[in-house]
Structure 1
Amino acid sequence: MLGFYRTYTTPFKEKIPTFVEDFFRRIPLYKRFNKFIGHYLYTETVLRNSPRLSVINSQHKNILWVQWVDSYLGDSLMDLSSRILLKGKKIDLLTQENVANIYQNDEVFNKIFTNPNSLNFDYDLIIIGSYRQRELKILPKYILTIPHVSIYGYYNVNDFNRLYFSFFRTNQLLDYRYNQQQIEEIAKPLLPITKQDKTIVSNFDLPNNFIAIAIGAASVDRNFSQWEAVIDEIFAQHIANNIVLVGAKNATIEAKKIQQKYPNKITDMTGYCSFNQTAQIIKKSSLLVCADGGLLHASNAVKTPIVSLFYNIEPTVRLIKINPSCALLNKTNINNIKVSDIIELIGQHAINGFYKSKH
């Protein structure tokens, strides 16, 4: 009814990692349907004067991309990186302040807006992230009369690879300009790192060869508490001589404690850098060890291999084929992941790259 299948069916022909059956088991049918009906009625009303298009063509030169709801750094990077397929068009971005800074000096986005009332008036097309009330209600009325396309539409599945979804959907909107292999060869997070960012990082006293470890987490569920034990084993087994700690300000106390234990082997960069500068540090490393989070996507952006830890979420919805990486998963508690298993994967990386998931 009314295209309810679109809430769990990808609109394109390519296959991506998605765990629809798990989603069905967690969310009863009536809840999914009720949410869809609410979205459907609201969307059809609000966008009644905005023609819904199926293709982005050469006439669409001035475009506004709206991503307001999913504004965590990682989600934003996965959703917006397919903009590279639209390079050559004039594209503005409307997003929230907490992610706007990471797109400054971008090679595709022209202007970054965080206030919907400051938008330009001359758009040929708007790209709407998804048909959700929170995404649409912030848009001025004149914007809601401009022709539009949507990346997700009514799609409402939790566990799926958002990066591949965005790339394949944008490619579909471009009338399949590329085939699946070509998309998979270019699909990665697109994160601008300016010359200034590179200069700032080059002035840090970083070792020549090092592993980067991201400590701390925005979510308690993703906060691994045994990094000190991991580092003890890395040095005890002579896997690496130098480690650089990266992460946000909430990790500085833990980082300082670890750094004081190994003052000549550990460089603490937690809380010192912007997200983009931290990505440049990761680029200089041979490996990033981290829990699922924003810096995992930064590492994918700069194509530094990853040993990643996951709670509940399947690793294949985060990892990408062009960046050899591996993952450990525990669906009960991230701290149930054994230090010995982490060390084993880090040790394997010292020999050769990999792309696999170990449960």
Structure 2
Amino acid sequence: MLIYYLCLKAYPHRQSLRPGRTASSIFSSAIFLTLSSPLYPVNPVASRCASLRPPQFERLLGWRSSARVRDKAGVASARLRLSPQPPTLDPASQKMHYYRYSNAEVSCWYKYLLFSYNIVFWLAGVVFLGVGLWAWSEKGVLSDLTKVTRMHGIDPVVLVLMVGVVMFTLGFAGCVGALRENICLLNFFCSAIVLIFFLELAVAVLAFLFQDWVRDRFREFFESNIRSYRDDIDLQNLIDSLQKANQCCGAYGPEDWDLNVYFNCSGASYSREKCGVPFSCCVPDPAQKVVNTQCGYDVRTQLKSKWDESIFTKGCIQALEGWLPRNIYIVAGVFIAISLLQIFGIFLARTLISDIEAVKAGHHF
């Protein structure tokens, strides 16, 4: 009766059965179908209800079942078409390849070591930028940027700002690229360090091979800055520091100060510093504790044989040429240290990039 009731609830349009079919006959048929097919069990309710379905419903279910079969076949064929082709490697290599990428992870040591490496340069770049902007504000350049273009010599603040911009940019790219695991920023950082490394190497090799050309360019550079000695206080301090540290005067001698409008000996000059040299060219007097800024006045009006008694007569180019062989080990050590730091940064960046790419490749397996 329960089976008969369920069939009637499922198909209310069939309130009467075919002649000769009763509830007992329905129940006995269900029991017979169940017991006669032990290897292929049939749901008696579904079997009996299926016999009571209208023809339209049978056609609808047939269409749905065939559509379901077609959908499954289409999905299977699509999966076969979209599945990647197996690598053409031997089984051992395939196993190692899968194991390598499926268990890949980004090393925290390399990640945070690269971050620490770059944050030092990033902070140094911030300091350089701050000092450069402060120096420009003290000289009034920030209020009138055309002063930079009107200078004939080089402004040391420009060099400080350029170094600061490069260090800040590379440090920022390295820090963010390491923390965010950004391959684009890491590639930019690595490429920039490689470019700087080879530029330094090329400059060192060319300076060694073409020493005469480098000497002439340095002389022109020094003479152009002598002409602008009084135009910029930072340039003046740089030249004074160079002459005092190397005990030199001018590019090749004190006569080079004739290039400056304040120190030349021409009759058209009415400067108090005429035929003189800056105080940084003077031989220091141990007895004097206060620097005499007027010690170089009228020095070149005397005989040249007496110049060495009060000022340095050696040019700064000769002084630098003599300083380099005496300190070749220090220069080489500094160059090697900088190169090793750059190579270490390149190694960290490339290792981190390889780890990130391995993790991304592992998601495709």
State TM-score, norm by structure 2: 0.21
Bigger share in strand? 1
- Which structure has the bigger radius of gyration? 2
Q: Greater helix share, 1 or 2?
A: 2
